Amino acid sequence: MAAHPSTTETAPGLRRLRDLPGPRGVAFLGNALQFRSSSLHLKLENWARIYGPYYQLRVPGRELLVVSDHAAVAKVLRDRPSGFSRTARLREIGQEMGLQPGVFSAEGDDWLRQRRMVMAGFDPGHVRRYFPALVQVAQRLGKRWERAAQSPDPIDLQSDLMRYTVDTIAGLAFGANVDTLGSDTDVIQQHLDKIFPALFRRITAPLPLWRLLPSAADRALARSMVEVNRAVDGFIAQARMRMQHDPRLRTSPSNLLEAMIAEADKPDSGLTDAQVAGNVLTMLLAGEDTTANTIAWMIHLLWTHPEALQQAQDEIQAQVRDPHSPSMEEMDGLHYLQACIHETMRLKPVGPQLPLQANRDLAVGDVQVPRGTIVINLLRSDTLREDLVDHATEFRPERWLQVHNPAKRMSTPFGAGPRICPGRYLALLEMKIAMTVLLGRFHISHVGTADGLPPQERLSFAMMPVGLLMRLKRQAL
């Protein structure tokens, strides 16, 4: 769909999008072929170093603006949902795949209603009530790693952490006993793993070949969508049955789904079970990828920085009485570990870029942006600039314990403004508990890839490390 033309002349002092510098493309397709890449975010960041904080890209029928200036990015993020929204292409492809609309992709009044429902579930008071369920899943992760410590085979770090986050979300959010950590058979995780990569491939594809010549992967995706939607419907049905048998759950929900259903069932909510289902699936997808990838990157960064690893391990051993059964208060006291999390998200954000669509004619920095223009916001670029952040490319968690930390106002791993991630509090807690299990019960003997090279960054909607393996030894009692 072509961008709407601007309804006004270029305002004084503003540049036109077409006059900005940018990389050369090819005839007819422009830069479209360069989007088909698992390293797209690295290309965009490199082009920002070449062409500056504002540059243009071209695809058929559309001009795109890429922005790396952190102040302009922050302003764009805060101008939601009024000035900017998710792209129409994201909504179109998601609906075509069978994704129910959730708060992630909803806009306008739908977003406002769903946001209230989701925030009711993620209220910090509710999350604290769910804490014992989080610990139970972490105990299963610990048992899996105890078995792995006795095996000659290394741990596939990404796979284990995905299982951990799926089990956590399924139990905490839905009251469902999904035990992927204890099973190596066909599990819901194997269906979820197909969705975000397919969504990314289709959004960035120059031609919709899956509609004309569906591949084996496309057919497998369709089967996975059926299985995942069936599981989501089951979670909702089970929750409604529990709430029917125990009406107290409407005022004191035992999990996030019950809290959302209670909010959706209010007479003036305007919400449907389809929207509840959309947010259930959003939690499963976002909770799996983003949290697991951040933990994996953090383990790698700590391993390559032994002093930081030792300091994190010393803090856990000093603050946590029993790493098999930590308390909420002990998690609140892990300040250095939380600094490690924030530093990991600065260097390795799972969402290094965020494309948004302008809802009206407006300005981004000194660039006039017509309604309908796609603005790709680069969330990491400025945090890696040595002129803005001291030792910007180095892993230094202690910067997050200092009063003056320029990176704090530039790093936005959870977004910013009204659409900031509602699950950020839960995600931080989930990461702390997993790291407490790891560093409180084990010694890391190695983290790396099979070829010994640094892990590559792969963008597949979320950005992940490729091929990380880990070996552990149990700590002496």
Please state, in angstroms and rounded to a whole number, the distance separating the CA atoms of residues 6 and 63: 12
Which residues does 375 contact at the CB level (< 8 Å), separation at least 6?
A: 64, 65, 66, 67, 76, 84, 355, 356, 357, 358, 364, 369
CA 87 from chain center: how many Å? 17
Q: How many other C-beta atoms can be found within 10 angstroms of the C-beta atom of residue 363? A: 14
Please state, in angstroms and rounded to a whole number, the distance separating the CA atoms of residues 38 and 457: 8
> Would the CA dihedral through 303, 307, 312, 316 be positive or negative?
positive
378 beta partners: 353
What is the token pair recorded at 173? 């959010």
Q: CA-CA-CA-CA torsion for 378, 382, 383, 388, nearest 10 degrees?
A: -170
Please state, in angstroms and rounded to a whole number, the distance separating the CA atoms of residues 192 and 461: 13
Q: Residue 363 has what pLDDT? A: 97
Q: Judge whether 382 and 68 are in contact, CB under 8 Å.
A: yes
Low-confidence ranges of the chain (pLDDT < 50): 1-8
For β-strands 155-156 and 15-16, DSSP reports them as unpaired
Please state, in angstroms and rounded to a whole number, the distance separating the CA atoms of residues 187 and 181: 10
Q: Residue 5 has what pLDDT? A: 41
377 beta partners: 67, 354
448 beta partners: 469
Please state, in angstroms and rounded to a whole number, the distance separating the CA atoms of residues 466 and 81: 34
Which residues does 72 contact at the CB level (< 8 Å), separation at least 6?
A: 53, 54, 364, 365
Q: Estimate the crossing angle of helix 273-303 against helix 108-121, to 10 degrees.
A: 60
Q: Judge whether 174 and 239 are in contact, CB under 8 Å.
A: yes
Q: Judge whether 461 and 197 are in contact, CB under 8 Å.
A: yes
Please state, in angstroms and rounded to a whole number, the distance separating the CA atoms of residues 187 and 179: 9
> Domains of the chain: which residue ranges?
15-474
Backbone φ and ψ of 125, nearest 5°: -65, -40
Distance between start and end Cα atoms, the chain: 63
Angle at the Cα of 358 from the Cα atoms of 357 and 360, rounded to 5 degrees: 150
Task: Name the architecture of domain 15-474.
Answer: Orthogonal Bundle (1.10)
Q: Residue 6 has what pLDDT? A: 42
Identify the three-state secondary structure at position 144.
Answer: helix
Q: Judge whether 384 and 349 are in contact, CB under 8 Å.
A: no
